[in-house]
């Protein structure tokens, strides 16, 4: 049974110029120890779909889904009070900007202890003991002293470690990491990703890693979802995705990796920009930028087609049968 | 922390000299002769005029008057009132409790109502509640104090007869002065009904003096909260599954408090200015009324001394605000010391 099952999740924002669909028909299945990576450009709906799951979107967002179940609970109809019992405990999330995600007015110890008190009802001494364990677990030296530190006394990497400690405080079943390494130095990025993967193995939790770094995907994930303009365009296992991407967008993204274009003078790019709220093409959303585009692409909207290894949303997927 | 406070006190020194210069200069810019204002024009010969000017020390050049004035200030001598021949400090201290009492209750009213409705409006942004609160506060902010005071007197005292028109306490009571704060003195005296009468007299002046600060505090709290509510750490707090009360009342408010406390600190100045009008309307025997009287009678030393004392109080409040910044957000403390 899946830990998290989502069918046809859509999120629309009401704006002055009409409604804008940020997430469009996303399907998701996550089992208990899965490591799923969601990749896509900025504004492709990666974060918004996960924030919808957490119930953290502003009230201007309209979330609809045919199914959105976590551990048997229907997240579409759940009350706010009941949701608060789950988020931060069974599902937790860490964010892109560790420096601004911690409250500058409170100590690290207070902020970690708060989750422990809220969900586990631990008393003062137990909270302190557990907080020290957690900081130790995420690799922060001298954890007992660090509890008294304020966020401005920590580096970006340290702050993200504290965020991770807070997120895993109540042993969540699902951890969502929303671009956890994007705002950090390159050397620290790898450490944070390694830490998340180690913790996932150790704790046996499911991990959703949102990123736009293909390198991170290649090294860590098992399953990959590629998103474009709010839609899921491809889903595959990581090895086959990198070897044989079916969707032209995935293909173009992988071609743009610097390590794949060492023999070229210029890095390949994808011409054009992601369609905005006002200029969504009528058919396939990627059609205006696609190098394999055909006439029917801009007339009909392609559905998500399941394959042996995953799924893709394209009328003319890249065919590898001829190559063997 | 100690270094931080010392640093802030050092910054007050130039401000203090600025205030003395302004208070010294402004009263001398007013038209009108202090001797004439004091003694009247009848039988005023040039000899008598010169004699009185010399007696008041006003015959010396302005720069020397200023130096004498500052020298005396530094020795704790605020001068003597020309009218009453009593030390300014004594007069001030006698009247000051009445002003403080009114100021504190007005500020309490403004904070206790203004901060919560500001938070509420921010959380309910764009709704009917938000628009209602903001509309009312705009009205409150725009109302002239003297008009609002008279309106309330006409309605509550005149038509409905619910509240007294003026004064601090009913003339039936004779409460011995211990602290000068009537609410405390009436309690100490143990006289039945005295405390209730003092409270009763405070209602209208408190509302009149508190209305503008209340409106400003509500608006500023709302905008400070709106800014903070979009911060990442508020999302983190919500992602922890904390209750709205804790997310807004603790995580967001603690950060918004920096702005709110600044505004409250600045309102102390507005309150002092408002006190002048409010005290006049309600015949409240405080320093606001006293300063107005001193200006009209060209009592140079009383106006100078009174302004400097009020400025010192406002500087003290701002010092407290600065220290509170450091306590609320430790980052400020760490970067400035």
Please tell me the predicted confidence (pLDDT) of residue A70: 92
State the architecture of B88-292 in CATH terms: Orthogonal Bundle (1.10)
Please tell me the predicted confidence (pLDDT) of residue B335: 62
Please tell me the predicted confidence (pLDDT) of residue B235: 94
Contact between B241 and A83 using a beta-carbon 8 Å cutoff = yes
pLDDT-based confidence at A282, cuts 50/70/90? confident
Residue A75 has pLDDT above 50, yes or no: yes
User: How close is the nearest chain A Cα to the Cα of B254, in Å?
Assistant: 7
For chain B, the distance separating the N- and C-terminal CA atoms, rounded to the nearest angstrom, is 8
Please tell me the predicted confidence (pLDDT) of residue A322: 63
pLDDT in tens, B127-153: 899 999 999 999 998 989 889 999 999
Q: How far apart are CA B253 and CA B240, in angstroms?
A: 17
Chain B hits for A183, CB-CB cut-off 8 Å, are none
A307 shares contact with chain B (CB less than 8 Å): no
User: How close is the nearest chain A Cα to the Cα of B317, in Å?
Assistant: 23
Q: For chain B, what is the mean pLDDT?
A: 87
Residue B175 has pLDDT above 80, yes or no: no
CB B182 within 8 A of CB B175: yes
Chain A hits for B330, CB-CB cut-off 8 Å, are 104-105, 150, 152
| Least CB–CB distance from A89: residue in B236, B241, B334 | B241
What's the mean pLDDT in A279-299? Answer: 87
Q: What is the pTM of this model?
A: 0.81
pLDDT-based confidence at B78, cuts 50/70/90? confident
User: How close is the nearest chain A Cα to the Cα of B327, in Å?
Assistant: 9
pLDDT-based confidence at B337, cuts 50/70/90? very low
Residue B43 has pLDDT above 90, yes or no: no
A162 shares contact with chain B (CB less than 8 Å): no
Please tell me the predicted confidence (pLDDT) of residue B336: 52
Q: Coil, strand or helix: which one is A186?
A: helix
Residue B297 has pLDDT above 50, yes or no: yes
Give the mutation candidate from A101, A156, A166 for the B interface (greatest B CB count, under 10 A).
A101
Q: How many CA atoms lie within 13 A of A82 on its CB side?
A: 8
A115 shares contact with chain B (CB less than 8 Å): yes
Residue A289 has pLDDT above 50, yes or no: yes
Contact between B240 and A152 using a beta-carbon 8 Å cutoff = no
B235 shares contact with chain A (CB less than 8 Å): yes
Chain B hits for A78, CB-CB cut-off 8 Å, are none
pLDDT in tens, A176-195: 999 998 888 888 888 899 99
pLDDT-based confidence at B231, cuts 50/70/90? very high
| Least CB–CB distance from B231: residue in A83, A89, A100 | A100
Q: Which of residues 75-104 of A touch B (CB under 8 A)?
A: 83-89, 92-93, 95, 97, 100-104
Residue of A nearest to B124 (CA): A59
Chain A hits for B254, CB-CB cut-off 8 Å, are 103, 105-106
A5 shares contact with chain B (CB less than 8 Å): no
What's the mean pLDDT in B187-195? Answer: 82
Q: How far apart are CA A127 and CA A118, in angstroms?
A: 11
Q: For chain A, what is the mean pLDDT?
A: 89
pLDDT in tens, A92-112: 999 988 999 999 999 999 999
Chain A hits for B232, CB-CB cut-off 8 Å, are 95, 97, 100-101
pLDDT-based confidence at A264, cuts 50/70/90? confident
CA dihedral A182, A186, A187, A188 (to 10 degrees): -20
Average the pLDDT over each of A210-224, A228-242, A267-281, B259-273 and give the range with the smallest value: A267-281
- Residue A220 is classified by DSSP as H
Average the pLDDT over each of A48-52, A314-318, B215-219 and give the range with the smallest value: A314-318
Q: How far apart are CA A252 and CA B46, in angstroms?
A: 100
| Least CB–CB distance from B255: residue in A54, A84, A104 | A104
Q: Which residue has the higher pLDDT, B238 or B171?
A: B238
Domain with CATH 1.10.3720.10 in chain B: 88-292
Which tokens belong to A171?
């042993």
A:B CB pairs within 8 Å: 70
């Amino acid at each position: 049974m899946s830990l998290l099952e989502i069918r046809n999740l859509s999120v629309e924002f009401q704006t002055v110029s009409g409604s804008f669909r940020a997430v469009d028909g996303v399907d998701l299945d996550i089992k208990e120890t899965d490591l799923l990576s969601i990749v896509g450009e900025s504004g492709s709906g990666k974060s918004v779909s996960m924030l919808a799951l957490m119930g953290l979107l502003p009230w201007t967002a309209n979330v609809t889904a045919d199914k959105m179940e976590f551990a048997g609970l229907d997240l579409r109809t759940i009350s706010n009070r009941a949701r608060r019992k789950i988020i931060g405990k069974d599902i937790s999330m860490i964010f892109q900007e560790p420096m601004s995600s911690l409250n500058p007015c409170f100590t690290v110890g207070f902020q970690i202890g708060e989750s422990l008190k809220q969900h586990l009802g631990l008393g003062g001494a137990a909270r302190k003991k557990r907080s020290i364990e957690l900081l130790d677990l995420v690799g922060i030296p001298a954890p007992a002293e660090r509890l008294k530190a304020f966020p401005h006394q920590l580096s970006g990497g340290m702050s993200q470690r504290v965020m991770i400690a807070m997120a895993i405080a109540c042993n969540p079943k699902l951890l969502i990491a929303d671009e956890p390494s994007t705002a950090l130095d390159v050397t620290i990025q790898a450490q944070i990703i390694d830490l998340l993967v180690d913790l996932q193995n150790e704790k046996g939790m499911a991990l959703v890693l949102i990123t736009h770094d293909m390198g991170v995907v290649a090294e860590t994930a098992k399953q990959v979802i590629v998103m474009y303009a709010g839609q899921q365009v491809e889903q595959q296992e990581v090895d086959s995705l990198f070897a044989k991407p079916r969707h032209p967008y995935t293909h173009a993204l992988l071609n743009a990796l610097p390590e794949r274009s060492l023999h070229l003078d210029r890095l390949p790019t994808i011409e054009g920009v992601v369609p905005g709220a006002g200029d969504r093409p009528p058919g396939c959303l990627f059609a205006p930028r696609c190098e394999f585009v055909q006439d029917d692409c801009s007339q009909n909207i392609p559905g998500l087609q399941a394959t042996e290894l995953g799924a893709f949303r394209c009328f003319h997927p890249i065919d590898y049968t001829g190559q063997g | 922390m100690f270094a931080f406070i010392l640093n802030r006190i050092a910054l007050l020194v130039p401000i203090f000299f600025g205030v003395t210069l302004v208070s010294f200069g402004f009263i001398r810019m007013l038209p009108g002769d202090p001797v004439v204002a004091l003694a009247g024009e009848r039988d005023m010969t040039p000899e008598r005029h010169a004699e009185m000017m010399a007696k008041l020390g006003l015959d010396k050049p302005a720069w020397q008057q200023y130096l004498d004035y500052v020298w005396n200030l530094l020795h704790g001598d605020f001068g003597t009132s020309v009218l009453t021949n009593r030390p300014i400090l004594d007069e001030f201290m006698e009247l000051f409790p009445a002003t403080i009492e009114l100021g504190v209750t007005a500020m309490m009213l403004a904070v206790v109502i203004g901060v919560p409705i500001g938070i509420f409006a921010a959380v309910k942004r764009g709704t009917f509640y938000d628009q209602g609160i903001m509309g009312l506060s705009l009205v409150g902010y725009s109302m002239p104090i003297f008009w609002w005071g008279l309106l309330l007197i006409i309605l509550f005292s005149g038509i409905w007869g619910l509240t007294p028109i003026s004064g601090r306490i009913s003339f039936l009571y004779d409460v011995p002065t211990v602290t000068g704060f009537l609410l405390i003195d009436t309690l100490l005296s143990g006289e039945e009904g005295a405390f209730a009468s003092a409270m009763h007299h405070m209602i209208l002046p408190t509302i009149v003096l508190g209305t503008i600060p209340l409106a400003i505090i509500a608006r500023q709290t709302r905008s400070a909260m709106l800014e903070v509510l979009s911060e990442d750490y508020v999302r983190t707090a919500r992602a922890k599954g904390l209750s709205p009360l804790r997310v807004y009342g603790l995580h967001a408010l603690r950060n918004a408090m920096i702005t709110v406390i600044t505004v409250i600190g600045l309102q102390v100045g507005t309150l002092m200015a408002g006190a002048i009008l409010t005290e006049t309307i309600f015949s409240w025997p405080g320093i606001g009324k006293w300063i107005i009287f001193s200006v009209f009678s060209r009592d140079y030393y009383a106006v100078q001394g009174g302004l400097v004392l009020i400025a010192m109080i406002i500087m003290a409040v701002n010092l407290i605000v600065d220290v509170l910044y450091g306590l609320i957000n430790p980052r400020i403390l760490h970067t400035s010391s």
